[in-house]
Structure 1
Amino acid sequence: MRSELGISGRIARQFLHSPITPLLALIGLLMGIGAVLITPKEEEPQIEVTFADIYIPFPGADPEEVEQLVTIPAEQVLSEMNDIDTMYSFSQPGQAMLIVAFKVGKPRQQALVDLYNQLDSNQDWLPSGLGVGQPLVKPRAIDDVPIMNLTLWSKQADITAEQLTQVANGLESELKHLPGTRQIETVGRHDRIVQVTVDPVRLNAYGLTWMGMTQILQNANQQSNGLSLTQDNRQISLQIGHFLTSADEVGQLIVSTQNNQPVYLADVADVKEVADVPSQNVWMSQDGQVFPAVTLSIAKQPGVNAVDLTRAITARVEQVHNVLIPQGVEITVTRDYGQTASEKANKLISKLIFATTAVVILVIFSMGWREAIVVGGAILLTLAITLFASWVWGFTLNRISLFALIFSIGILVDDAIVVVENIHRHQKGGSNWKEAIPQAVDEVGGPTILATFTVIAALLPMAFVTGMMGPYMSPIPINASTGMLISLAVAFVVTPWLAMHLLKSSSHATHDPDGKAGKFRQFLSMFLTGSKAKSSRRLLSLVVGIALLGALALPMVELVVLKMLPFDNKSEFQVMLDMPEGTPVEQTQIVLHNLATEVESLPEVTSVQLYAGTSAPMNFNGLVRHYFTRQSQELGDLQVNLLGKHERDRASHDIAREARERLTPIAEKAGGVLKVVEIPPGPPVWSPILAEVYGPSQSMREDAAMQVQNAFRATADIVDIDVDVPATQERWTVTIDRARASKAGISEATIRQTIAAAISGSDVSYLRAPGRKYAEPIRLRVQDGEKVNLQGILSMSIPASGGSRIPLSELVQIRSGAQPHSIMHKNMRPMIMVTADMAGDLDSPLYGMADISAKLSHDYPQWDQFLVSQPDGLSHVALKWDGEWKVTYETFRDMGIAYSVGIILIYLLVVMNFNSYSVPLIIMAPIPLTLVGVMPGHALLGAPFTATSMIGMIALAGIIVRNSILLVDFVNQQLEQGVELADAVVNSGVVRAKPIILTALAAMIGAMFILDDPIFNGLAISLVFGLFASTLLTLVVIPVLYYLYMRRKIA
């Protein structure tokens, strides 16, 4: 035994008899309980990602003019900012839209302040008389995603969407009183308006004009207050005029006189209060029937507990039934992220308990029930303090942070098992109990400290992975590393105290050298001594080499598929429908109804909501892909809700694949493009397969994009193909005869405004009726029949000089042409997107992308293809591959760097401890041996190698090095005591085999509890199979390598 104790032994001795030790343990437990109670619960981790949509109006301009005069200058101004990750722009008729995506981690408030400052300080970037409007900035962030959707609908025919909108208005105000709510919106609103439908013939007959009617309505709806007068020593407030409060009042306005008789507005127009003509509709599909509906979406404030908030919303809705919600109106909860977060948290917490219990049972069978209580207490205390530390770090209780704890069970228990096992071994030796515990702790203390920091060195660099994947997975390296430090402290402070009080009465069993340990001693000696040792070592090298090469070959032959993340098993998916441009909302609605009827026939579908002319309330995927901008009559969504995952046999991905097969023919028959969109398992991308087409002109880009689309269609298993080249839409250009207009004394602005207001309707004023949440517009319009060929509108007269009136038809001419296409830029370079997904046996978009790339390289060798950098597209067509490829490349690149940094840090730590450059190489030799288990494990279970698989491999590097350190350190201790080299090596393998196998089994047991998770099963496979193979090999390879090294050194 060593005469002096090291730091670990001194710590153990200090706290062994101290009364503060149980108090520290109690405080740690209370901290953990408090953390569980106060930490917000969410389904997904919080990611600091900020977007900003910037709208810049340029009325009347075509896309090319918008691009040159607005978009490019705006891009140049914004490009001066730091921390912008990606910038998209869309030059559209009459406006430019820019999407600015800031780098992940940039604080939202600072990002928006910088953006506003940049725009405000460059207000002079355009000439003041050009006609470009002020930029409108719409910030977007993950907290804008609604956590709850309530769909209001009714089977009663007399309850309309307009009435449902009024109910939703009341609910909006009531739910806003709940603390923690943020943005509450109603999708599919049918608001009321006062519709003033003008008859052009009657208008001309009474000598009235459109602009004159507008002026009359605006002048009549004014009121002055704030005035006062004094009378009889009293101050009396004065109000002049009054507002219009009803449609009857609007109809009774006098607009002219004829033969000394008043002409009322109702004489020249049809005035009535009606529901607005819908450009969007929401329907609830039930049993093949559709019913009018509106959807109320509720977002939460940052840091608010989603579980508590959605429960409060549900309770409040139940309270206001028959108060704000009339009989016959049904409310279906179509999204409840609070409930799913609660279910996920409860399930993972139960797995955490089961994993801990399983580890304790393992210790019971291997060492005894008293030792199991000690280890169990250490695990419980470590988890409690780790939960508190997680709260301090600012993490919420979400599926990633809880998975991190389950994953950590196996490595957090390592320190306790190693310490308890060594105390247990010393106890069997009959040592003095009070002296034995510090000695036992000290014997393994040095290697345990080093091993703990090697695991941290392997894990912690993962916290610096860039992009959205970094903060998404950051709870794993940060919580696990923090937990490792806590477990080390618990192992040196609390574990010895528990051992002293619980193990002192244990019986001293004798060690049986002829049992399993004796057989392992004989097996290990076969590689070290004797006449056949050399041939045995050669055979070992051959077996290990063949196994390693076989493991590396599995991805090459696609027995192990590379994929970013596997599909999750969610309870919803969406169906996107894009009809040809110009399709009216009614036609879009008919196609959506047919799609809904078909998808409802799937047995797992519980309900379907139809969104025609608008988008369904967005999720995180929709936020990144900007689905909320789908606000046009030819666009539609289906929100498909499924049974809970435990109530159905099939995963949501399999259901979505069948839905795609059934629905695509229906959409194609109607001339539409259909996409089935599943919620991605991790951070979303614009599209799984994305080809960006660059070129010197818009026509070249469009032609090339169509060829790329054809290549997509010719590739097997490629689905949901779409290209950002819209179908040609007819455009009528109304040209003003400037000479005639000038001669008649009529301004061009008057002509433009009159025609535009007549076509689209003009909200000239608003009713001022009390008790309305939203203002009710007074809309001046012409009959729909007059808009068909413009003849009715152009028959209207406008006042000319000299008091005469001239029909609009005499001042304008109509030419037919084509609507110019929008122009898209990415990072200031014009391009066109071609998007798709993959749905086949491989189910990995990377392989589909590779097939398409090869096909395009063969057919169009003159096109350059880029995987990482962005082409300029100045001289010829070029392609840049993006989508899932980009996030996969960046994630695996950063994880590879983290893996390398971890290995370097491990090497430095081991060099510092052993004062040798060669010994660390021997200790780290088992790291590549993990592949012998990892790759065959994935192939055996048919699982893809994913980002979580890589996390498991990184963790394995630290775990397996810990085992090597324990072996080598014990050999050195034996050599210091004068034991022969071969005996020392064999003793090390025999003595340390038990704690090594126990810690490996503990980690494997913890991982097995996440093996059934569709996302984290890659991590579990890496740990289970990697630990199994590498642990068995380590117990043989490390002793053999170290024996050969030391024999040569001694010689």
Structure 2
Amino acid sequence: MDFNALVRQYYLRGDSNQADIRVNLLHKGQRDMQSHAIALRLRSGLEALAARHGARMRLVESPPGPPVVATIAAEVYGAPDMPYETLLESARGLGGLFRDEPGITDVFDSTQTPRERINFFLDKEKAALHGVAAEDVTASIALAMSGATPATVHEPGERRPLQTRLILPREKRSSLTALERIPVKTDAGKIAPLAELGRFLPVPEEQPILHKNMRRVAYVFGETAGRAPAEAVFGLKDRLAADPPQRGIEVDFAGEGEWKITVDVFRDLGIAFGAALLGIYILLIIETKSFSLPLLLMTAIPLTLLGIMPGFWLLNALFGKTVGGYADPVFFTATSMIGMIALGGIVIRNSLVLINFIDDSLRQGMELREAVLRSGAIRLRPIALTALTTMLGAWPITLDPIFSGLAWALIFGLLASTAFSLLLIPVAYYAVRSKKAA
């Protein structure tokens, strides 16, 4: 039982109709496919096998980050006076939207499968005639079904005493007929079977009422295959906007699942990106002794987006592969965001080199136009070789299933920023200096 299974509460599944199969793969050097691709390849066959036998199957991979109860988790809330069954009905309806949304699989909700339990109803008149108290009946049933530990045995060589457990054999407690024969001792010292004191009746089990933050809630869960969880959540929100739930029902995707982690991570990385930009700006002010020139130098940073976002789209459009009928794309992940933050410092260096070269040429008496043209011509090769070296250094990381996004962000961002910086930065600097000279 690993941490992922604990978070998903698999330890609660102890019924005879439930089972877990844990698959350990060979070392990645001894197989051709990554673990995620293997899971995609197996999914269709396992789903068909489960459907053929009327079973419910969930294919769960070890997460690269913090484990969650499910990739997509929707919380269904209602008014305080709303019957809980209404919440469950809304959850089942939302589950239908989950199944209709492309890329969402293994959909289930918090509704428990209807089943019966056997209760013993004591006939108080008969119990009084036999001289049996309700506590005696309860103790006899508990002893028969759950057993008891009346004593311990001290064996030579054993560090701790051995527990002795007293319980009826399974065949004497596995049917109503057997249960009715369970003996109960009366006040007179005689034995009375349970059949003479009452009767066993099947009763339906009630649905457990789940709460979160003191509010009643029903859950709908789902996994994703071949699609980013964020895209699936956006698709579900569009479906809910087109087909809203009944009045008084509230659906929240931000409580559990990867959506909350995704929002929190990208929020924190966005704050870190802003702090990095502020730090770069302050350092450039110290370097250039100007408040406006650093802004010009930093125009190279947003140019990276012109390479990163279209780059990921082209990568999946041209080289995307399908495994087991599911797409296996390269997503823009948190590591991609880290790569984009790292690019901020890398591309600034190129801009700074160009501007310094132009300023040096101007101090030597060269005309502004000639200095700008000369900077692009002379610094083209060093800047291009530096960018190419960085991209080649990041290439091996593209093979890693977790950090490939960081590598692709560096490659695409450097490619676009280098190309645009060699043109845009000198031209923008020329326009600014010309305006000041005029």
2:430 counterpart of 1:1049: no
Deviation of 1:772 after TM superposition, in Å, equals 5.1
Return 5+ residue gaps in structure 2 as ranges: 317-329
Q: Is the 8 A contact 1:758 1:781 kept in 2?
A: yes
* Structure 2 CA distance for aligned equivalents of residues 803 and 1005 of structure 1: 90
> Which structure has the greater CA radius of gyration?
1
For 1:673, what is the secondary structure of its paired residue?
Answer: coil
* Structure 2 CA distance for aligned equivalents of residues 1032 and 1003 of structure 1: 14
Deviation string, structure 1 residues 563-601 (Cα, Å, up to 9, x no partner): xxxxxxxxxxxxxxxxxxxxxxxxxxxxxxxxxxxxxxx
* Structure 2 CA distance for aligned equivalents of residues 643 and 807 of structure 1: 58
* Structure 1 CA distance for aligned equivalents of residues 197 and 436 of structure 2: 104
Aligned equivalent of 2:356, options 955, 962, 969: 969
2:17 counterpart of 1:634: yes
Q: Is the 8 A contact 2:72 2:223 kept in 1?
A: yes
* Structure 2 CA distance for aligned equivalents of residues 786 and 1049 of structure 1: 100
For 1:681, what is the secondary structure of its paired residue?
Answer: coil
**Change over 3 Å in CA distance of 1:979–1:857 after alignment to 2:** closer
TM-score (norm 2): 0.86
2:437 counterpart of 1:1038: no
Tell me which residue corresponds to 1:449.
none
Deviation of 1:1026 after TM superposition, in Å, equals 1.5
2:393 counterpart of 1:1006: yes
Deviation of 1:1044 after TM superposition, in Å, equals 1.4
**Change over 3 Å in CA distance of 1:861–1:673 after alignment to 2:** closer
Q: Is the 8 A contact 2:154 2:160 kept in 1?
A: no
Tell me which residue corresponds to 2:322.
none
Deviation of 1:1027 after TM superposition, in Å, equals 1.0
Q: Is the 8 A contact 2:103 2:225 kept in 1?
A: yes
Deviation of 1:773 after TM superposition, in Å, equals 7.5
Tell me which residue corresponds to 1:935.
309
For 1:641, what is the secondary structure of its paired residue?
Answer: coil
**Change over 3 Å in CA distance of 1:901–1:732 after alignment to 2:** same
For residues 643-662 of structure 1, the aligned pairs below 5 Å read 643-662=26-45
For residues 608-619 of structure 1, the aligned pairs below 5 Å read 617-618=1-2
For residues 370-381 of structure 1, the aligned pairs below 5 Å read none
Q: Is the 8 A contact 1:741 1:747 kept in 2?
A: yes
Match for 1:852: what amino acid? L
For 1:636, what is the secondary structure of its paired residue?
Answer: coil
Match for 1:886: what amino acid? K
Pick the structure with more strand per residue: 1
* Structure 1 CA distance for aligned equivalents of residues 265 and 277 of structure 2: 18
Match for 1:677: what amino acid? V
Deviation string, structure 1 residues 252-294 (Cα, Å, up to 9, x no partner): xxxxxxxxxxxxxxxxxxxxxxxxxxxxxxxxxxxxxxxxxxx
Tell me which residue corresponds to 1:827.
213
Match for 1:916: what amino acid? S
Aligned equivalent of 1:889, options 240, 248, 263: 263
2:93 counterpart of 1:707: yes
* Structure 1 CA distance for aligned equivalents of residues 236 and 344 of structure 2: 36
**Change over 3 Å in CA distance of 1:985–1:822 after alignment to 2:** same
Match for 1:637: what amino acid? D
For 1:820, what is the secondary structure of its paired residue?
Answer: coil
**Change over 3 Å in CA distance of 1:1040–1:692 after alignment to 2:** same
For 1:831, what is the secondary structure of its paired residue?
Answer: strand
Deviation of 1:803 after TM superposition, in Å, equals 4.2
Deviation string, structure 1 residues 693-751 (Cα, Å, up to 9, x no partner): 22233211111111122222333443212222111111222123445545655432222
Deviation of 1:770 after TM superposition, in Å, equals 3.7
Deviation string, structure 1 residues 289-315 (Cα, Å, up to 9, x no partner): xxxxxxxxxxxxxxxxxxxxxxxxxxx
Q: Is the 8 A contact 2:144 2:182 kept in 1?
A: no
For 2:251, what is the secondary structure of its paired residue?
Answer: strand
* Structure 2 CA distance for aligned equivalents of residues 953 and 797 of structure 1: 75
For residues 885-964 of structure 1, the aligned pairs below 5 Å read 885-942=259-316, 943-964=330-351
For 2:33, what is the secondary structure of its paired residue?
Answer: coil
* Structure 1 CA distance for aligned equivalents of residues 237 and 136 of structure 2: 55
For residues 181-200 of structure 1, the aligned pairs below 5 Å read none
Q: Is the 8 A contact 1:694 1:701 kept in 2?
A: yes
For 2:167, what is the secondary structure of its paired residue?
Answer: strand
2:72 counterpart of 1:689: yes
* Structure 2 CA distance for aligned equivalents of residues 646 and 746 of structure 1: 70
Return 5+ residue gaps in structure 1 as ranges: 1-616, 864-875
Tell me which residue corresponds to 2:327.
none
Tell me which residue corresponds to 1:848.
232
* Structure 1 CA distance for aligned equivalents of residues 183 and 313 of structure 2: 78
Deviation of 1:805 after TM superposition, in Å, equals 4.3
For residues 331-730 of structure 1, the aligned pairs below 5 Å read 617-618=1-2, 620-695=3-78, 696-730=82-116
Tell me which residue corresponds to 2:325.
none
2:263 counterpart of 1:879: no
Tell me which residue corresponds to 1:751.
137
Q: Is the 8 A contact 1:660 1:675 kept in 2?
A: no
Match for 1:641: what amino acid? N
- Aligned-residue RMSD, C-alpha: 2.7
Deviation string, structure 1 residues 363-399 (Cα, Å, up to 9, x no partner): xxxxxxxxxxxxxxxxxxxxxxxxxxxxxxxxxxxxx
Aligned equivalent of 2:367, options 975, 980, 983: 980
For 1:637, what is the secondary structure of its paired residue?
Answer: coil
Q: Is the 8 A contact 1:719 1:838 kept in 2?
A: yes
Tell me which residue corresponds to 1:166.
none
Tell me which residue corresponds to 1:431.
none
Aligned equivalent of 1:859, options 243, 256, 263: 243
Percentage of pairs with the same residue: 40
* Structure 2 CA distance for aligned equivalents of residues 772 and 790 of structure 1: 40
Deviation string, structure 1 residues 855-874 (Cα, Å, up to 9, x no partner): 333333546xxxxxxxxxxx
* Structure 1 CA distance for aligned equivalents of residues 49 and 160 of structure 2: 39
Q: Is the 8 A contact 1:758 1:782 kept in 2?
A: yes
Deviation of 1:650 after TM superposition, in Å, equals 3.1
For residues 292-311 of structure 1, the aligned pairs below 5 Å read none
* Structure 2 CA distance for aligned equivalents of residues 980 and 859 of structure 1: 66
Q: Is the 8 A contact 2:351 2:421 kept in 1?
A: yes
Deviation string, structure 1 residues 622-680 (Cα, Å, up to 9, x no partner): 24323334333332111223333333333332322232222223323433210111122
* Structure 2 CA distance for aligned equivalents of residues 739 and 719 of structure 1: 56
* Structure 2 CA distance for aligned equivalents of residues 719 and 792 of structure 1: 44
**Change over 3 Å in CA distance of 1:757–1:889 after alignment to 2:** same
Q: Is the 8 A contact 1:673 1:722 kept in 2?
A: no
For residues 736-815 of structure 1, the aligned pairs below 5 Å read 736-738=122-124, 741=127, 745-771=131-157, 776-815=162-201
Stretch deviating more after TM superposition (907-916 or 947-956): 907-916
For 2:419, what is the secondary structure of its paired residue?
Answer: helix
Q: Is the 8 A contact 1:922 1:1042 kept in 2?
A: yes
For residues 32-431 of structure 1, the aligned pairs below 5 Å read none
For 1:817, what is the secondary structure of its paired residue?
Answer: strand
* Structure 2 CA distance for aligned equivalents of residues 1047 and 721 of structure 1: 63
* Structure 2 CA distance for aligned equivalents of residues 774 and 629 of structure 1: 29
**Change over 3 Å in CA distance of 1:798–1:647 after alignment to 2:** closer
Match for 1:682: what amino acid? G
**Change over 3 Å in CA distance of 1:761–1:700 after alignment to 2:** same
* Structure 2 CA distance for aligned equivalents of residues 896 and 976 of structure 1: 40
* Structure 1 CA distance for aligned equivalents of residues 275 and 8 of structure 2: 34
Deviation string, structure 1 residues 840-899 (Cα, Å, up to 9, x no partner): 4xx223333333333333333546xxxxxxxxxxxx221111422222222222222222
**Change over 3 Å in CA distance of 1:810–1:824 after alignment to 2:** same
